Each structure stands twice: as structure tokens, then as C-alpha cells.
């Protein structure tokens, strides 16, 4: 296996890049110090406060304790240290965990998850909790870098006001979630709330970060040498993110292209614990130990779940003392006995999800797929890996896990994304477009049936509204530089109307192959964002209306770039035959809804 070589840093002054992987259950930090003329290295933060109380040196639990006034009292490994549970009970502290899942889109796969995840602390928004955790990660990174580098304090002082940050997120998150994460980064003091500050924050999907990690740590030689298609399965705490790539052969530099629309499923390891809780709630309903359910599930989480590898063997959850016995519920000497087949059932939805998603990627991919690479903390589970391996190997797929620590794949990969930028082509997850009005054609049946949607334009033409104008179809490969242009015009009797214009980008999430009208499968259209454009400085020429009077018309293009990890938008127009361009402001709704 050959790993690509990295070029020396070409900048003129030292720079620090920090990647924060805020996971549902565990979080990690990786970083790189960029010195002019030196080849950058990727390093993980491996020491955190109270680290000795948790396993897995590169990660800390994604947990925050708040007191009753809303003040942060313990974070990460500190929130798991001995005795903290008792203090929290006594002081009535509130625990925030799995809070990342509250950021998800409420449409699509994330629609039904709310009832299964712990609520946010009272009077706290998800942005506030996220910001508190980001602030803590920055403190941890600062302490670690200063203590492990020569002249660490001077080093930190020289870079701290200009740090570049990379935040990773599940494949299923869109611009709305990126916008909320940016707000949290500003609240946490990572970046200032201005254009320069925003430019220091980059987003990457967990799938793409995992590809970058795998390129450096064990992508199959067939994928590196022959351009074989490879599915990356990032099995984490909350989500399972599925992405497919192949190396672009013949390119001078190592570059990869995404070859299928990425997927995101809410079947991470916390859902095994959720299934375990539902089972035990029922099983122990009449037991005297039902009040210990939270503790039993915590112990299952920490031991039984991690060790499980055989559905024929009985499994044990140690939760009490030698005096705790209730034989009718298989509890002896503080141990609850479970059938291996029951524990296997807790894992089954996650295993089925991975198998189905990989086969869907294989079917829809733009190139043949030969390999499946599993990364993420959940993929370290031997039962999960073995079941996926035995199901997919007969189909001619090569299934593997990198030898290196799979649980730090995302944070290391996020730094590699920043430094190496291997992926140059991505695949659209949805169909993107805009609702607009088009010329009415009385010869077309679908126009005739919508006659009530027609109106006369200022220039005297009959037009029909609520037509869906597709800008980018689903499952289309898009290079980073590819521009999608749509021409629009605006007519008004008042020049004031041109001071601000807005243009909405909508997604279609349904099964209609060529969506055309808003009134067909309406519920599957959701607004992605609004692009705000100032058109007041554009040249306006007065025109004469057919019935007399003056109006103004402006012709302009909206230029969209979908091939980056964030949507970019520009407005273009002609002045004396020469194209001019201006940046736009993209505003995301607080959540993706069906409002119009």
C-alpha cells in the first residue's frame, strides 16, 4: 500500500489548524502546526483533564453537566470521574448527552428520532450546549499543545488569533446544520462573527473525513493502484455514514471522486443501547431492580455491548453487589444474565442498515465497487464487523478495518481534508431547484389543468406559476469548479423593488424522477435556503408597458456551486456586454420545513 506524499507548507508564517470531531457519544481533537517550508504532520490530542477515568486516549465523552443556574460544572472525562454521579444527584445538576442529535434535520431519516434521545437541559438551546462543548475542546487543545511542544506558550500566543478550524458532521447534514454549527463556533469564541472569521471555519462530512483517514491508514491497494470503487462506512455513536469513492486514474496528483450519493442513517451504537433499554424495561418491569434500570443500561453500555461477539453465548451485565439476587429475572450476585440471541437482536437494525446501504451504493454508483472499509468507534465491535463481513463477502466485496485506531478517523481525516484535499468531485444527495413562473403553453395538458395558476406579466405575457425548475438532479457527479447557472428576470414599476431580491433554493426528496410542479408530491419539497441579493447597483433601463406607463426589467443569473463541502452562490449580470459578479448572502431556515 502506498500513501500519498504531502507537500511542504507554502505559507509565509506559522499557522495552526484544529479539527474538532464532536461525536454523539465521544469527541476527539486533531491538529497540525504549519511551518513555512516544512511538510505538515497530523497529530491527535491524547491527554485531557481527568483522562485516567476513561478508556481510549484520543477521545473524551461528549457529556456536559450543568448546575441549576445553567452554569457548566463538568465536561468530558471530568463528567465521568468517580463520585461525580453522586454529586450531580445531590446538587441536582442536569446532564446533557447525545445533544449533537438535536442539531439534525427534522426531515428525512432524522424525523422520528426525537423521542429516543435525551432532551436538552431546560432553557438551553442546542447551539448553547454545542458552544459550551466547543469552548471546552479549545481549552483542551490549548493546554495540550502548550504542554507538549517546545516553547508551547509562545507557539500558542503566536497563532491563537488566527487558528483555522475544521468541524466534521454527519453526511445527512446540510447547510442549515452547518449554519447552526457556525453560530455555535462564534458563541464559543472560536471565530469572530465577520467574513474573515467565517472564512477560518471549514466543514467536512464524516464520510469524506473518513476517506482521507483511510487513504493515509490503509485503503486497499486495488483502490489506490487501480481506481477500484470503495465504500467507506463510518459507524459512530449516533449515525452510520456511508460514502463511496474511487481514485481518479491518470491525474498527476492523487485525487478522488465521489461515485454515489452519500447516506446517513440513525443506527449508531447509541441505538443498540436504546433497544437494550426498551427490552429491559419490559423484562424487569416487575423486578425489584427496575429502579436500577439507568445503572444497568450504563453498565451494559460500558462492558457487555463492547465485548459482545457470539449470539450462542450467554451475556452478563455486572451492576450490583454479591447480595443482589432475583433468580426469576436471571439476576445472581449482582449480575444480570441475558441470552446472546437477545443481545444480537439489539444490534440487528444497525447491521441490516449497513448491509442495505452498501448494496444501495453498489447499485447506484457511477463506477463498480470492490471494497468496503469500516471506520468509527462502532465498527471496532467484533460482532458488527463479523456480521457485515459474512453478509457482504459472498457478493465479491472485500471488507476490512484499518489497523490504526478507527475511533480517531474523523478528526485525523478532517485535518487531512484541510491539508491534502483529495476529493474534487462530489455527488448530489437530492434534487435541487427553484419554484418559478414559466410561459403558459395552452397546447400542454399539464398547463391546461393548472389554468388557475396563470397571470399576465407586466410585459403582457401569460405565465404560469409554481413550476419546479431543476438546477441539479439527484445522484449527479459535480466537480468543485462546476457552475450551475439559471437566468431570471425581475419586473417592477418601482426602482425600490430592486434594492433587495431573494431567491430560494428548494430540495426535492421524493421518488418522482423528473419533478416539475409544486402540487405533485408537495410534502417532499423542502426549502434549503434563501439567497439574498442586492440588485440596486445593477443598471436598470425603463421600458414601456403594453397598456402605457413605465416599468423596469432586470435580467440576471444566479450562479451556484454545489461541488464544495458548502453551498456557494453568486449573482451575475451584464454591463455593456461584460459579465459582472457579486457575492450573495445565504440564509438558512432554523430547520428545513415545508413552509413556502
- 271-308 pLDDT per residue, tens: 999 999 999 999 999 999 999 999 999 999 889 998 99
CB atoms within 10 A of CB 151: 10
Whether the full predicted model's pTM is greater than 0.85, yes or no, is yes
Assign 332 a pLDDT band (cuts: 50, 70, 90). Answer: very high
Lowest mean pLDDT among 23-27, 325-329, 402-406, 536-540: 402-406
| Dist CA 18 CA 256 (whole Å) | 24
Q: Cβ(77)–Cβ(137) under 8 Å?
A: no
Higher local confidence (pLDDT), 109 or 348: 348
Residues 298 and 193 in one domain: no
Quick check: is 253 in a domain? yes
Number of domains, the chain:
4
- CATH code, domain with 48: 3.30.420
Out of 185-194, 372-381, 454-463, least confident range: 454-463
- Is 54 part of a structural domain of the chain? yes
In a domain, 354, yes or no: no
Does 420 lie in the same domain as 328?
no
Q: What is the mean pLDDT of residues 541-550?
A: 83
Average pLDDT over residues 100-113: 76
Q: Where are the alpha helices (DSSP H) in 421-523?
A: 445-448
pLDDT tens string 18-67: 999 999 999 999 999 999 999 999 999 988 988 765 544 678 999 999 99
* List of residues 6+ apart from 367 with CB closer than 8 A: 227, 229, 246, 259
Q: For 486, phi and psi rounded to 5 degrees?
A: -135, 135
- Please answer whether residues 360 and 244 qualify as being in contact, where contact means their C-beta atoms are separated by less than 8 angstroms: no
- According to DSSP, the β-strands at 423-427 and 398-400 are unpaired
pLDDT at 584: 83
pLDDT of residue 251: 66
Which pLDDT band holds residue 232 (cuts at 50, 70, 90)? very high
Strand order in the sheet with 335-338: 315-318, 335-338, 331-332
CATH number at residue 212: 3.30.420.40
pLDDT digits (tens, 9 = 90+) for 407-466: 678 999 999 999 999 999 999 989 999 998 999 999 999 999 999 999 988 888 899 999
| Alpha-carbon distances, residue 363 vs 248, 366, 395, 398 (angstroms) | 20, 9, 12, 16
Same domain, 90 and 193: yes
Q: Which of 345, 377, 397 is the last residue of a domain?
A: 345
234 and 258 co-located in one domain: yes
Whether residues 254 and 294 fall in one domain:
no
Q: Give the sign of the dihedral formed by CA 94, CA 166, CA 21, CA 101.
A: positive
What pLDDT score was predicted for residue 589? 72
2 to 374, 411, 431: CA distances (angstroms) = 19, 22, 37
Degrees to nearest 5, angle at CA 263 with 227 and 232: 35
Q: Which of 200, 226, 255 is the last residue of a domain?
A: 200
Please check the confidence at residue 112 and state whether its pLDDT lies above 70.
Answer: no
Is 10 among the domain residues? no
Per-residue pLDDT band for 595 (boundaries 50, 70, 90) equals very low
Q: What is the pLDDT of residue 557?
A: 86
Claim to verify: residue 85 and residue 188 sit in the same structural domain: yes
pLDDT at 588: 85
Mutual angle of helices 126-148 and 152-159, in 10-degree steps: 140
Q: Are residue 246 and residue 160 in the same domain, yes or no?
A: no
Q: Cα separation of 300 and 484, whole Å?
A: 51
Q: Are 350 and 209 in contact (CB under 8 A)?
A: no
In a domain, 95, yes or no: yes
Q: Which residue, 181, 200, 219, sits at the end of a domain?
A: 200
Residue 385 counted as domain residue: yes
106 within a domain of the structure (yes/no)? yes
Whole-number pLDDT of residue 404:
65
The mean pLDDT of 474-490, rounded to a whole number, is 88
Phi, psi of 591 (to 5 degrees): -150, 155
Q: What is the pLDDT of residues 129-185, one digit of tens each?
A: 999 999 999 999 999 999 998 888 999 999 988 999 999 999 988 888 999 999 999
pLDDT of residue 394 exceeding 80: yes
Could you tell me if 180 and 51 lie in one domain? Answer: yes
**What is the pLDDT at residue 252?**
63
Cell representation of residue 221: 491497494
**Cell 471522486 -> residue:** 257
Mean pLDDT in residue range 546-552: 83
- b/e code 185-194 from CB counts within 10 Å (16+ = b): bbbbebbeee
**196 and 214 inside one domain:** no
pLDDT, residue 406, reads: 63
**Residue in the structure block whose three cell numbers are 489506490:** 224
Residues 290 and 247 in one domain: no
Q: How far apart are CA 515 and CA 526, in angstroms?
A: 13
4 inside domain: no
Number of helices and strands in the chain (H, E) = 14, 31
Measured distance CA(167)–CA(172) in Å, rounded: 15
Same structural domain, 323 and 470: no
Q: What 3-state class would DSSP assign to 495?
A: helix
User: What is the chain's alpha carbon radius of gyration, rounded to the nearest angstrom?
Assistant: 27
Domain that holds residue 436: 430-588
Distance of CA 412 to the CA centre of its chain: 16
Give yes or no: residues 152 and 219 share one domain.
no
Residue 594 reports pLDDT greater than 50: no
Amino acid at each position: 500500500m502506498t500513501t500519498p506524499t504531502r507537500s511542504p507548507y507554502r505559507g509565509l508564517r506559522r499557522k495552526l489548524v484544529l479539527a474538532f470531531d464532536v461525536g454523539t457519544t465521544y469527541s476527539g481533537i486533531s491538529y497540525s502546526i504549519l511551518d513555512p517550508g516544512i511538510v505538515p504532520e497530523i497529530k491527535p490530542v491524547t491527554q485531557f483533564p481527568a483522562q485516567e477515568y476513561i478508556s481510549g486516549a484520543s477521545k473524551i465523552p461528549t457529556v456536559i453537566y450543568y448546575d441549576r443556574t445553567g452554569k457548566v460544572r463538568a465536561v468530558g472525562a471530568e463528567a465521568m470521574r468517580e463520585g461525580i454521579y453522586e454529586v450531580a444527584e445531590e446538587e441536582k445538576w442536569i446532564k446533557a448527552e447525545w445533544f449533537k442529535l438535536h442539531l439534525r434535520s427534522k426531515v428525512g431519516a432524522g424525523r422520528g428520532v426525537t423521542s429516543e434521545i435525551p432532551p436538552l437541559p431546560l432553557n438551553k438551546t442546542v447551539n448553547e450546549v454545542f458552544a459550551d462543548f466547543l469552548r471546552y475542546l479549545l481549552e483542551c487543545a490549548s493546554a495540550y499543545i502548550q504542554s507538549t511542544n517546545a516553547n508551547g506558550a509562545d507557539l500558542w500566543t503566536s497563532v491563537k488569533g488566527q487558528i483555522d478550524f475544521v468541524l466534521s458532521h454527519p453526511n445527512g447534514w446540510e447547510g442549515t446544520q452547518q449554519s447552526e454549527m457556525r453560530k455555535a463556533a462564534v458563541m464559543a469564541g472560536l471565530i469572530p462573527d465577520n467574513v474573515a472569521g467565517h472564512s477560518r471555519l471549514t466543514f467536512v462530512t464524516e464520510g469524506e473525513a473518513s476517506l482521507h483517514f483511510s487513504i493515509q491508514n490503509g485503503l486497499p491497494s486495488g483502490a489506490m493502484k487501480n481506481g477500484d470503487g470503495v465504500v467507506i462506512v463510518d459507524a459512530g455513536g449516533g449515525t452510520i455514514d456511508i460514502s463511496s469513492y474511487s481514485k481518479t486514474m491518470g491525474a498527476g496528483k492523487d485525487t478522488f471522486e465521489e461515485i454515489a450519493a452519500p447516506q446517513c442513517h440513525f443506527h449508531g451504537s447509541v441505538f443498540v443501547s436504546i433497544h437494550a433499554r426498551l427490552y429491559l424495561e419490559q423484562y424487569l418491569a416487575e423486578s425489584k431492580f427496575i429502579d436500577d434500570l439507568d445503572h444497568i443500561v450504563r453498565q451494559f453500555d460500558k462492558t457487555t455491548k463492547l465485548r459482545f461477539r457470539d449470539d450462542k453465548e450467554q451475556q452478563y451485565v455486572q451492576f450490583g453487589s454479591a447480595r443482589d439476587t432475583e433468580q426469576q429475572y436471571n439476576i445472581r450476585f449482582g449480575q444480570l444474565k441475558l441470552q446472546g440471541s437477545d443481545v444480537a437482536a439489539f444490534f440487528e437494525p444497525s447491521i441490516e442498515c449497513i448491509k442495505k446501504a452498501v448494496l444501495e451504493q453498489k447499485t447506484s454508483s457511477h463506477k463498480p465497487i470492490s471494497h468496503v472499509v469500516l471506520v468509527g468507534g462502532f465498527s471496532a465491535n467484533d460482532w458488527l464487523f463479523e456480521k457485515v463481513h459474512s453478509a457482504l463477502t459472498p457478493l465479491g466485496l472485500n471488507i476490512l478495518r484499518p489497523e490504526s485506531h478507527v475511533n480517531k478517523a474523523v478528526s485525523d481525516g478532517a485535518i487531512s481534508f484541510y491539508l491534502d484535499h483529495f476529493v474534487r468531485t462530489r455527488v448530489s444527495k437530492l434534487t435541487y431547484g427553484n419554484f418559478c413562473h414559466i410561459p403558459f403553453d395552452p397546447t400542454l395538458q399539464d398547463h391546461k389543468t393548472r389554468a388557475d395558476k396563470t397571470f399576465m406579466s407586466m410585459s403582457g405575457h401569460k405565465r404560469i406559476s409554481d413550476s419546479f425548475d431543476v438546477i441539479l438532479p439527484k445522484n449527479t457527479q459535480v466537480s468543485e469548479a462546476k457552475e450551475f447557472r439559471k437566468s431570471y428576470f425581475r419586473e417592477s414599476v418601482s426602482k425600490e423593488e430592486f434594492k433587495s431580491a431573494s431567491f430560494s433554493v428548494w430540495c426535492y426528496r421524493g421518488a418522482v424522477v423528473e419533478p416539475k410542479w409544486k402540487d405533485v408530491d408537495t410534502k417532499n419539497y423542502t426549502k434549503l435556503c434563501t439567497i439574498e441579493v442586492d440588485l440596486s447597483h445593477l443598471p436598470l433601463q425603463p421600458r414601456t408597458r403594453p397598456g402605457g406607463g413605465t416599468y423596469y426589467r432586470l435580467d440576471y443569473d444566479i450562479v451556484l456551486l454545489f461541488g464544495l463541502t458548502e453551498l456557494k452562490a453568486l449573482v451575475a449580470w451584464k454591463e455593456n456586454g461584460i459579465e459582472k459578479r457579486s457575492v450573495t448572502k445565504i440564509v438558512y431556515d432554523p430547520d428545513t420545513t415545508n413552509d413556502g
